[in-house]
Amino acid sequence: MTRRRALVTGANRGIGLAIARGLAARGCHVFLGVRDKAAAAEVACDLDADAIALDVADADSIKRAVEEIGSLDILVNNAGVLGAGRLLDDPEDFERSMSVMVHGPYLLMHLFTPAMVRNGYGRIVNVSSGWGAFSDGVSGPAGYGVAKAALNALTVASARTLPDSVKVNAMCPGWVRTRMGGASASRSPEEGADTAIWLATLDADGPTGGFFRDRKHIAW
CATH code at position 213: 3.40.50.720
Does 121 qualify as catalytic in the annotation? Answer: no
Which candidate, 4, 20, 134, 123, places its Cα nearest to that of 69?
A: 4
Report how far residue 5's alpha carbon sits from residue 103's, in angstroms, rounded to the nearest whole number.
22
Q: Report the pLDDT averaged over residues 79-92.
A: 92
Domains identified in the chain, total number: 1
pLDDT at 182: 67
Range of the domain at 168: 5-217
Higher pLDDT, 118 or 182: 118
Q: Which of 131, 144, 211, 212 is catalytic?
A: 144
For residue range 170-189, list pLDDT tens digits in order: 999 975 666 666 677 768 88
pLDDT at 179: 65
Strand, helix or coil at 59? Answer: helix
For residue range 40-73, list pLDDT tens digits in order: 999 999 999 999 999 999 999 999 999 999 999 9
Report how far residue 140's alpha carbon sits from residue 41's, in angstroms, rounded to the nearest whole number.
33
129 Cβ neighbours under 8 A, 6+ residues apart: 140, 144, 145, 148, 172, 173
